[in-house]
A = this chain, B = another copy of it.
Amino acid sequence: MNTILTTQCADDVGLIAKITGLCHQHNLNITRNNEFVDKDAQRFFMRTELSVQPNSEFLTQLEGLLPTGAKVTLHSNEKTKVVLLATKEAHCLGGVLLKQFEQALNIEVLAVIANYPNLAPLAKGFDVPFHVVSHEGLSRAEHDLQVGDLIASYNPDIIGLAKYMRILSPEFVGRFDGKIINIHHSFLPAFIGAKPYHQAFERGVKIIGATAHFVNNELDEGPIIMQDVTHVNHANTAEMMAKMGKDVEKTVFCKALQLASEHKLFINGNRTVVFS
């Protein structure tokens, strides 16, 4: 991968011309470019792959050309740093660790933090540090603070909730605003509450799915990154559906982390822009 420039700002006339014009002045060859304008929100998003790394003045000059409040970032070819949170279920955690091992994802999992010790062998098998921060005897605020401090000590780019079965406090979410990616099951229609696969089975659905999304404080469920589904039938028990659903969760979670690591994800209010 090349150096990636990401730009997001209020929309204006001539933004592409300004940005690519400055690249041209700096002799930066653009090998790939994606942009999107949200007309309703009047927001501009652009991802630009450059074959050469710009010099130190480039970003300052660029900011000078763009509307106030523009957010421009240069991402070098380094791996995206990820801390994964988990509880007891192995599929999403294992899926990411295996992909890292295969060198199929441009990420580095710095650590796994879990509120139970069950998945320690899995992390250790892939030589990734594993920390247990038990919630026993702690208030939610206390536990979130301990976990948050441990995360912060790694300074990750992304925090992946690999089936972390804890409700997060607003303080925790705010501390890592825009960096937390979660995965959960999804159904047509949706089922609220406990044992969703049993509810889906009872309702006789023919499709089950999974949604990866950013976590924020404004919503039950933050901006959706990616969704996928699999077909089920009358002969599938709730247990089989849960197993099939885990496969979809694993796939969708890995792809969401891949998009993040390739700097193709932008949060746009309650939605996302995904350059795939």
User: How far apart are the CA atoms of A273 and B204 in the complex, in Å?
Assistant: 9
Q: Decide if A227 is an interface residue (CB 8 Å cutoff).
A: yes
Which of A53-61, A75-83, A87-95, A146-154 lies at the interface with chain B? A87-95
Query: Could you tell me which residues of chain A, from 131 to 163, have a CB within 8 Å of some CB in chain B?
Result: none
Question: What residues of B have a CB within 8 angstroms of the CB of A189 in the complex?
Answer: 186, 190, 221
- The answer on a CB contact under 8 Å between A94 and B98 is yes
Question: What residues of B have a CB within 8 angstroms of the CB of A104 in the complex?
Answer: 91, 243, 246-247
Please name the residue on chain B nearest to A228 by beta carbon. Answer: B207
Q: Decide if A69 is an interface residue (CB 8 Å cutoff).
A: no
Question: What residues of B have a CB within 8 angstroms of the CB of A224 in the complex?
Answer: 203-206
Nearest Cβ on chain B to A144's Cβ, whole angstroms:
26
Query: Could you tell me which residues of chain A, from 104 to 134, have a CB within 8 Å of some CB in chain B?
Result: 104, 121-122, 124-127
Query: Could you tell me which residues of chain A, from 223 to 241, have a CB within 8 Å of some CB in chain B?
Result: 223-229, 231, 233-235
Question: What residues of B have a CB within 8 angstroms of the CB of A122 in the complex?
Answer: 101
- The answer on a CB contact under 8 Å between A32 and B36 is yes
User: How far apart are the CA atoms of A228 and B126 in the complex, in Å?
Assistant: 29
Please name the residue on chain B nearest to A122 by beta carbon. Answer: B101
Please name the residue on chain B nearest to A101 by beta carbon. Answer: B90
Please name the residue on chain B nearest to A16 by beta carbon. Answer: B20
Please name the residue on chain B nearest to A189 by beta carbon. Answer: B190
- The answer on a CB contact under 8 Å between B30 and A16 is yes
Query: Assuming the A-B contacts A126-B125, A190-B189, A207-B227, are A17 and B27 also in contact, with contact meaning beta carbons closer than 8 angstroms in the complex?
Result: no
Q: Decide if A171 is an interface residue (CB 8 Å cutoff).
A: no
Question: What residues of B have a CB within 8 angstroms of the CB of A127 in the complex?
Answer: 121, 125
Q: Decide if A64 is an interface residue (CB 8 Å cutoff).
A: no
Q: Decide if A14 is an interface residue (CB 8 Å cutoff).
A: yes
- The answer on a CB contact under 8 Å between A233 and B274 is yes
Query: Could you tell me which residues of chain A, from 1 to 54, have a CB within 8 Å of some CB in chain B?
Result: 13-14, 16-17, 20-21, 23-24, 27, 29-39
Would you list 18 pairs from A and B whose C-beta atoms are within 8 A, ordered by A residue?
Answer: A16-B30, A16-B33, A17-B24, A20-B20, A36-B234, A90-B98, A94-B102, A101-B122, A104-B246, A125-B125, A186-B188, A186-B189, A188-B227, A202-B270, A204-B270, A206-B211, A233-B276, A234-B268
Give the interface of A toward B (CB within 8 A): 13-14, 16-17, 20-21, 23-24, 27, 29-39, 89-91, 94-95, 98, 101-102, 104, 121-122, 124-127, 186-190, 202-207, 209, 211, 221, 223-229, 231, 233-235, 243, 246-247, 268, 270-274, 276
